[in-house]
């Protein structure tokens, strides 16, 4: 009987898939998957082990394959089958860098109707950078779906252009809470036809003071839509929001512990004094070499100061913080992603959701205030299975705070000694040599006769002798 039932289910499953794909290629709404098909496939224990055999829109699968993505992460494998079918609310928790954007983006775009030009889905995010990034990721994910329009709206740029683009019809809107409320207040955006509301990085939105805006959004628009909440952590404020606004038919996918750093991160710390801080940073930056890394500072002025210091030592770096114009921030982030600069100096604005490949290390130049902040800073490295290093600088009076973070996150923290006087001196010599190598020629500042007189003093030395004497001169001056 078991064998007969298995064969019957197999044949039924094959029939469902055949009928499903016949529908796909014979209907105008070809990207939409029959809800009955999804339900039946789920009843047949249709597990999403890879995207190509999932019930996602074939257009979405095609876009994923073009990006070389075939197997889902844990949050994607567990959330996507639910979100393709579930009509109620949903909560997904997973650490940073685990693919939450595709976990909600793939099923969302599979369920949106591109023949309807009204806004059907709104994705709320905490920062402008994350808004633009998720908008671009979803545009790439849904590029093969005919008629689908996705728009990212956020502050810091003229609202006039955004209003014009929205007037042409948009199905999916990615927005920061402030700009969305602005457009709703101007009666430019109506949420009455909303089918889906996604709160991405929900914990960060509450930490940034968007509770009031979120309350207004959840209470002013109709409540016929499904709310999908995604977060790396679940503090009390998030649980309160869930109890207040989300339905009793809520479904959850919880991955990992309450607060968890990415696996594959080496956690290092150096206890030091303020006077040793810059030289220690320069020493470790040389140890990391040309690898890509992010340095976090507590304040905007701290970011600018450190940027000038690293630039003076000929490091390839850029700085981002909230006071920079949006266009300049975008330019710097593009340079960082594309490898034109390999060090990004930032306030915590860059610590959430910015998916930059191949970040090998994170340096916390100033100790973060909370374990959650540590998680999101260090989460810029070791993303999607890669390894990385998180290095924290801590003053002696801050040691107890760092140890609390260690206990909270159950970190295996390695405390490194300060670089020795010899190591720091050698490092200074290397930096001095780098400055010489990258120094621009004098041009017309000296007469040719003066230049020749200087060369005459050194021309009898071989290259090796000249380098030895330059190094000896530098070391004697220290």
By C-alpha distance, which of 360, 327, 346 is closest to 158? 327
Alpha-carbon distances of 320 from 284, 301, 358, 446, rounded to whole Å: 21, 11, 19, 39
| pTM of the full structure | 0.61
Residue 227 pLDDT grade (very low, low, confident, very high; cuts 50, 70, 90)? very high
Mean pLDDT of 185-209: 85
Answer whether residue 126 is part of any domain: yes
Residue that is last in its domain, among 222, 254, 286: 254
Average confidence (pLDDT) over 289-304: 93
Q: What range does the domain containing 233 cover?
A: 55-254
The contacts of residue 162 (CB under 8 Å, 6+ apart) are 151, 153, 179, 183
Mean pLDDT of 237-243: 87
What angle is formed at CA 239 by the lines to CA 347 and CA 182, rounded to 5 degrees? 55
Residue 2 domain-assigned? Answer: no
Does residue 270 share a domain with residue 250? no
The length of the chain, given as a count of residues: 478
CA nearest to 97, candidates 377, 425, 399, 404: 377
Pair (187, 104) in one structural domain: yes
174 within 8 A of 137, measured Cβ to Cβ: no
Residues 414 and 446 in one domain: no
Enter the tokens of residue 426: 């050698």
Report the percent of the chain where pLDDT is more than 70: 85
Same domain, 404 and 471: no
Please, what is the average pLDDT of the chain? 83
Decide: helix, strand or coil at residue 189.
coil
199 lies in some domain: yes
CB atoms within 10 A of CB 385: 11
Mean pLDDT of 202-220: 84
Let me know if residue 386 belongs to a domain: yes
The band of 380, judged by pLDDT with boundaries at 50, 70 and 90, is confident
Give CB contacts under 8 A, 24+ apart, made by 450-457. none
Q: What is the mean pLDDT of residues 281-291?
A: 94
Task: Give the strand pairing for 292-296 and 359-364.
Answer: parallel
Same domain, 412 and 465: no
Does residue 111 fall inside a structural domain? Answer: yes
What is the average per-residue pLDDT within 280-299? 94
Which of these ranges, 242-256, 410-424, 462-476, has the smallest mean pLDDT?
A: 462-476
**Same-domain pairing of 356 and 410:** yes
Task: Provide the pLDDT for residue 239.
Answer: 87
Q: Is 423's pLDDT higher than 80?
A: yes
Domain boundary among 226, 254, 282: 254
Q: Are residues 278 and 249 in the same domain?
A: no
Q: Answer whether residue 300 shows pLDDT above 50.
A: yes
The span from the CA of 92 to the CA of 245, in Å, is 15
**Looking at residue 239, which CATH number applies to its domain?**
3.40.50.300
Of 38-52, 123-137, 311-325, 362-376, the poorest mean pLDDT is in 38-52
**81-90 pLDDT per residue, tens:** 999 999 999 9
Within this chain, do residues 302 and 199 fall inside the same structural domain, yes or no? no
Pairwise pLDDT comparison (364 vs 421), residue with the higher score? 364
Flag whether 374 is in a domain.
yes
User: Which among 235, 254, 273 is the end of a domain?
Assistant: 254
Q: How far apart are CA 475 and CA 478, in angstroms?
A: 5
- Residue 354 pLDDT grade (very low, low, confident, very high; cuts 50, 70, 90): low
- Assigned domain for 17 exists: no
User: Same structural domain for residues 90 and 223?
Assistant: yes
Q: How many domains does the chain have?
A: 3
Same domain, 312 and 176: no
So what's the pLDDT on residue 27? 41
pLDDT tens string 88-139: 999 999 877 788 999 999 999 999 999 998 999 999 999 888 899 899 999 9
The yes-or-no verdict on residue 37 having pLDDT over 70 is no
Indicate whether 370 belongs to any domain. Answer: yes
Q: Are residues 275 and 246 in the same domain?
A: no
User: Based on the domain organization, do 230 and 280 belong to the same domain?
Assistant: no
């Amino acid at each position: 009987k078991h064998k007969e039932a298995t064969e019957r289910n197999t044949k039924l499953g094959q029939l469902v898939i055949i009928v499903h794909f016949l529908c796909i290629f014979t209907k105008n709404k070809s990207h939409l998957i029959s809800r009955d098909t999804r339900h039946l496939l789920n009843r047949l224990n249709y597990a999403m082990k890879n995207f190509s055999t999932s019930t996602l829109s074939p257009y979405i699968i095609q876009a994923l394959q073009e990006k070389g993505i075939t197997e889902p992460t844990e949050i994607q494998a567990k959330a996507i089958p639910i979100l393709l079918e579930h009509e109620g609310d949903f909560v997904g928790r997973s650490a940073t860098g685990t693919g939450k954007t595709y976990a909600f983006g793939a099923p969302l775009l599979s369920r949106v109707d591109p023949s309807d030009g009204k806004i059907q889905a709104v994705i709320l995010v905490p920062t402008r950078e994350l808004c633009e990034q998720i908008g671009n990721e979803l545009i790439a994910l849904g590029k093969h779906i005919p008629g689908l329009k996705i728009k990212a709206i956020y502050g810091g740029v003229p609202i006039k252009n955004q209003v014009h683009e929205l007037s042409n019809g948009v199905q999916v809107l990615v927005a920061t809470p402030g700009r969305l409320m602005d457009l709703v207040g101007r009666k430019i955006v109506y949420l009455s036809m909303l089918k889906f509301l996604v709160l991405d990085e929900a914990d960060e939105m509450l930490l940034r003071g968007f509770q009031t805006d979120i309350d207004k959004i959840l209470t002013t628009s109709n409540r016929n839509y499904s709310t999908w909440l995604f977060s790396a952590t679940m503090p009390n404020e998030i649980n309160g929001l869930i109890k207040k606004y989300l339905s009793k038919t809520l479904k959850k996918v919880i991955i990992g512990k309450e607060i968890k750093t990415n696996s594959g991160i080496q956690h290092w710390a150096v206890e030091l004094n303020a006077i040793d801080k810059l030289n220690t940073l320069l020493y470790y930056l040389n140890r990391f070499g040309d690898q890509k890394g992010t340095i976090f500072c507590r304040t905007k002025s701290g970011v600018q100061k450190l940027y000038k210091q690293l630039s003076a030592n000929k490091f390839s770096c850029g700085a981002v913080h909230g006071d920079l114009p949006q266009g300049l921030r975008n330019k710097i982030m593009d340079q960082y992603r594309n490898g034109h600069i390999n060090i990004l100096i930032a306030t915590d604005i860059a610590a959430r959701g910015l998916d930059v490949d191949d970040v090998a290390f994170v340096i916390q130049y100033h100790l973060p205030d909370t374990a959650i902040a540590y998680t999101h800073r260090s989460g810029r490295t070791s993303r999607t299975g890669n390894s990385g290093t998180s290095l924290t600088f801590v003053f002696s009076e801050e040691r107890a705070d760092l140890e609390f973070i260690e206990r909270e996150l159950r970190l295996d923290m390695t405390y490194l000694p300060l670089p020795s006087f010899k190591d720091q001196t050698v490092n200074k010599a290397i930096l001095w040599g780098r400055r010489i190598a990258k120094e621009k020629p004098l041009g017309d500042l000296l007469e040719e006769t003066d230049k020749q007189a200087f060369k005459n003093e050194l021309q009898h030395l071989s290259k090796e002798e000249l380098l030895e004497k330059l190094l000896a001169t530098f070391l004697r001056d220290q």
